[in-house]
Structure 1
């Protein structure tokens, strides 16, 4: 699949996930739907945010490389998108349970930064 087709498919999927997230937000009552409503909220939120962050990352890499994107840029953008979406959703979860003081945010960001550095170090050792 070419990068252009990937980007178009990602854009369409992301738009559909934002529509699904909006539907969950408007039509699902978390108090009456129980765990199903909560899981739907977080699942659609993660998918929509991954797509959004991946598109932002691809745009950043396209500007940085002046349009010469390669497979490595796509993989890095998608990996970062997954991390950012997980951070945002975990922060939402912690906030919903009243467990999000600034110290937890700082520790959470440091944890993800260390994991990302380990992944970068591993990928550089392979090449």
Structure 2
């Protein structure tokens, strides 16, 4: 798979995920649907943010002039996109439970940072 086809697939998937997230926001009432509505919200938001962050990190790597299309850089961009999405969804969840304070957010950022450092230190 070439980088161009990967990026087009990711763009199309991100547009569909954003459309799904928008539909969940507009048409699903969390008071009536309960846990199912919240799960749909978080899953569609996670997929949307994963696509956005992955495309952003891939764009940054291409702008830096790193080896275009190298599978390690594509995988790294995807991994960082997923980790950033976990961070955003974690912050959303903490806020929805009304327990988000600055040090909780900082602990979540530190956790994501440590996971990324683990992956970077065990690179082959």
TM over 0.5: yes
User: In structure 2, what is the Cα distance between the partners aligned to 1:40 and 1:68?
Assistant: 35
Task: Point out 4+ residue stretches in structure 1 off by more than 3 angstroms.
Answer: none
**CA RMSD for the aligned pairs?**
1.1
SS of 2:99's equivalent in the other structure is coil
Counterpart residue number, 1:7:
7
Q: State the distance in 1 between where 2:31 and 2:67 align.
A: 47
What residue is the counterpart of 1:18 in the other structure? 18
| TM-score for the superposition, normalised by structure 1 | 0.94
Question: Which blocks of at least 5 consecutive residues in structure 1 are unaligned?
Answer: none
Shift of 1:9: 0.5
* TM-score of the pair, normalised by structure 2: 0.96
- Comparing 65-74 with 92-101, greater Cα deviation is found at 65-74
Q: Take 2:122 and 2:9, find their aligned partners in 1: how far apart are those partners?
A: 30
1:18-97 alignment to 2 at 5 Å?
A: 18-65=18-65, 68-97=68-97
Query: Which runs of no fewer than 5 residues in structure 2 stay unpaired?
Result: none
Measured against aligned partners, the alpha-carbon deviations of 1:63-111 in whole angstroms (never above 9, x if no partner) come to 0116723111100000000000000001000001111100111111111
2:50 and 2:112 map into 1 onto residues whose CA distance is 16
TM-fit CA distance, 1:112? 1.3
SS in 1 for 2:76: helix
Aligned length: 124
